[in-house]
A and B are shown apart, each in its own frame.
Chain A
Amino acid sequence: MMDAATITTWMNEIAGAVRAERDYLIQLDAAIGDGDHGINMTRGFDAVVRALAQEEDGTPGKLLTLAGKTLVSSVGGASGPLWGSALRRGGRALGDAPTFDDGKLVEALQAALAAVVDLGAAVLGDKTMVDAMDPAVATLRREVDAGTVLPVALRRAAEAAEVGMRATIPLQARKGRASYLGERSIGHQDPGATSTALIVRALERTVAGSQ
């Protein structure tokens, strides 16, 4: 079973990961966007960590919702609204329970993916964060349904996210700022898909570390 500490640790892990990869994300984004993705993600998840630190006690659902809300209000560009809505929707899916199990985690991530797809109107192959998120959620669902233990299921999900991330390289962007480049977006890895892979990997570390 997972609880509020899982959420807090996950957010700390994400903040650490995007800070470590900040320059890499900036570099990827500079090639096909406006170069602020690394800055935005770092600023956003630092704000999340601060907000959660002030939350004495909260259910996992409430904490994830708060994390989303913080991202929405502290990050410019599309990543704040999209990741913020995703985490809020995920938080709502967790409900008010003090703990949650593997199935509930899958539900929450599926809700988060749905939020991104709804808002961004992006589908697989548009060269967006969906390209990493969709295979990760699908893999996690399949593994959990088959009875795979969660740390292993999450490792496979993270690998799927990274495959999806790399698969964005030959794609032409059809959404967001990168789409302005048309064919010139081909040959570059999508920064949104990259940070998404980091976020899934952070969840894997969180769960592996607690078991």
Chain B
Amino acid sequence: MSAERRLAGVPASPGLAAGPARHWTAATALDAARVEPPERPAAVVEANTALQTAAAEVEALAAGLNEADAEILITGVLMAADPTLLAGVERAILDQGLSAAAAILSSTEEQAALLDSLGDEMLAARASDVRSLGHRAARLASGGSDGPASRPTEGIIVAHDLGPADVAELGTAISAIALASGGITGHAAIVARSLGIPMVVGVGAALLALPEGAEVIVDGDAGAVLADPEVGHFEAARSASAARQQATQQAKAMSSLPAVTRDGVRVVVLANVAGAAEVEAALGAGAEGVGLLRTELSFLDRSSWPTALDHRLFFEPILAPLEGRTATVRLLDFGGDKTPPFLSGQHGRGIDILLRHPGALRDQLSAMLAAGRGTHLHVLVPMVYEVRQLRAVRAALTESAAAAGVPVPLLGAMIEVPAAVTLADQVVREVDFLSIGTNDLTALQLGLDRAEPGAKPAHHPAVLRLIDTVCRAAHAVGVTVAVCGESASDPTAMPLLLGLGVDELSVGSSRVGRVRAWVRAVDHAEATALAGLALLAESAQDVEKLVEPLRTALLAS
């Protein structure tokens, strides 16, 4: 019997999982064999080709994938073509006789170590990307024997570091990820979160000493890895992890079941996404399309407005799988905590900023119209508070659509500022659909700081009354209402939203299956009755009491 050991790390993606440790050594098993001088020039060519191929692979994966910024990944890719790196690789081969793979690894590691040593979090994240690229290229150079097929496909993935592209490739079949290092800004972590994979980073070298196949627990909430876990702990974690996998499987299996309430009301369930991996996961779980594509997250560290080409590269991998489906693209929502360097000091948020830069708006519109040709494209305007903004966007949209020779897509307003609710009767006449952003709406209505932790109860009667006003105004003129905030996948708020008349729910891709199951468990008339009473309640707690029996039933469904 060995005692349970706790290896402390940093929580990166929530959830508890147990399983056998699977080391992803990522091309560290190198042939130490020296390359003879006559073959060295060929090895240099081989190394350059491997770096180029790896760069192309990462670029393709990254363009779609990141809730973090493509910019950083692209920087990693550019580094693969960096003359300093290439020179280093060349010297390592020609002078020291290293193999192509070994030369790539040592040179990228040198670059990464340099970035690490600067003590800047952003640059440390870049170091991860450079390492990840190096490993990828090294695998290619050593004959691709460590290609996707031979990588671990299940269990707990243990590695020194992973890039976001690696996490996306590992997919949802694995139970969890534990990294010895890992940038704190964590691009890999963002991908893990969006795929619902528990992850702990910064565990330290002790992690890599775990024997292959050893049973371990990853606690993504506490940020720890438990080695030699006690039987009770292991079983509890394994059942949590089995339940999560089962839920994913079940969501897949039930993805063909319609999202219809017990009394026959159809509810459209869509996904909130920022990249192609999430689109794939969401469609697999039965999402009918995308209800919110966040477009600004990839450009947060930009030093200038993204170009039409940047937008095309971003949109194409995301919109391609959405052919024939709803693709709701939100215009760049910069400002507040999402202010890139090139906008620092500018006031306003969302559409206000974009309207001050009509060229930037046109670039994004023309790119989405081109990339979204086969989809049912919906254009969503962020942070609307008056109809002037909607008219300006519609004018630009009509013009861009005419230029692209495509029909004008549907136009919608985000309802996330109470002012837009007060003016709802005006707003609904300018749009084809509405999407309520309950996170901001709740914070602004209740005077809470959005960035502060703590409860943001969208089921507060003061917020529910706003939603009720919006639904009534919209339905009076035949405009559909979606909710794309956290509340759409909250078991207390979700039935009330349906009861108030919300037509569509857009939720995180890992929650699509669950929310569809809830829809099937809800009786729409019962939800309407509860919502009617919730509007009269005096506090969020009163509403919680009212919904408690239904909430319990949903969680058990």
Contact surface of A with B, Cβ cutoff 8 Å: 68-69, 72-73, 75-78, 80-82, 84-85, 88, 118-121, 176-177
Contacts and interface: CB of A to CB of B under 8 A. Distances in A.
A81 B545 contact: no
B532 interface: yes
A82 B536 CA distance: 12
Contact of A73 (B525, B533, B549): B525
A84 B536 contact: no
B interface: dominant SS: helix
Contacts of A119: 529-530, 533, 546
A130 to B, nearest CB: 14
B544 to A, nearest CB: 13
Nearest to B545: A121
B490 interface: no
B82 interface: no
A137 to B, nearest CB: 20
Kindly list the 9 A-B residue pairs having the minimum CB-CB distance in the complex, ordered from nearest.
A81-B532, A81-B529, A69-B525, A85-B529, A72-B528, A72-B529, A81-B533, A72-B525, A84-B529
B536 A78 contact: yes
B215 interface: no
A76 B525 CA distance: 14
29 contacts: A68-B525, A69-B525, A72-B525, A72-B532, A73-B525, A73-B528, A76-B532, A77-B532, A78-B532, A78-B533, A80-B532, A81-B528, A81-B529, A81-B530, A81-B533, A84-B525, A84-B528, A85-B529, A88-B525, A88-B526, A88-B529, A118-B549, A119-B529, A119-B533, A119-B546, A120-B533, A121-B545, A176-B536, A177-B536
Contacts of A78: 532-533, 536
A73 B498 CA distance: 12
The size class of the interface chain B forms with chain A is 10 to 19
Nearest to B542: A121
Nearest to B468: A76
Interface in B515-548: 525-526, 528-533, 536, 545-546
Most buried by B among A76, A85, A118: A85
B67 to A, nearest CB: 39
B39 interface: no
A82 B533 CA distance: 8
Contact of A69 (B263, B533, B545, B549): B263
B536 A77 contact: yes
A126 to B, nearest CB: 15
A78 B535 CA distance: 9
A120 B532 CA distance: 11
Nearest to B525: A69
Contacts of B525: 68-69, 72-73, 84, 88
Interface of B: 263, 525-526, 528-533, 536, 545-546, 549
Contacts of A82: 529, 533
A127 to B, nearest CB: 16
A76 B533 CA distance: 9
A76 B469 CA distance: 13
A84 B533 CA distance: 12
A91 B225 CA distance: 55
Contacts of A77: 532, 536
A75 B529 CA distance: 10
Given A73-B528, A82-B529, A119-B529, 7 more contacts: A72-B532, A73-B525, A78-B533, A85-B529, A119-B530, A119-B533, A119-B546
A54 B58 CA distance: 62
Most buried by A among B529, B531, B536: B529
B504 to A, nearest CB: 19
B547 to A, nearest CB: 11
A69 B546 CA distance: 19
B500 to A, nearest CB: 11
Most buried by B among A72, A76, A121: A72
A81 to B, nearest CB: 4
B214 to A, nearest CB: 52
A176 B536 CA distance: 8
Contacts of B263: 69
A120 B545 CA distance: 11
A53 B528 CA distance: 23
Contacts of A88: 525-526, 529
A170 to B, nearest CB: 25
A160 B528 CA distance: 31
Contacts of B545: 121
Nearest to B532: A81
Most buried by B among A69, A77, A81: A81
Contacts of A80: 529, 532
A73 to B, nearest CB: 6
A68 B529 CA distance: 10
Contacts of A84: 525, 528-529
Nearest to A115: B529
B386 to A, nearest CB: 28
A85 B529 CA distance: 7
Nearest to A86: B529
A24 B531 CA distance: 28
A19 B533 CA distance: 24
Contact of A85 (B526, B536, B549): B526
Contacts of B536: 77-78, 176-177
Contacts of A75: 532
Nearest to A177: B536
Contacts of A177: 536
B538 to A, nearest CB: 9
A81 B263 CA distance: 16
Contacts of A76: 532
A93 to B, nearest CB: 15
Contacts of B546: 119
Contacts of B531: 81
B551 to A, nearest CB: 14
Most buried by B among A73, A118, A121: A73
B131 to A, nearest CB: 59
Contacts of B529: 72, 80-82, 84-85, 88, 119
A121 B532 CA distance: 15
A80 B530 CA distance: 10
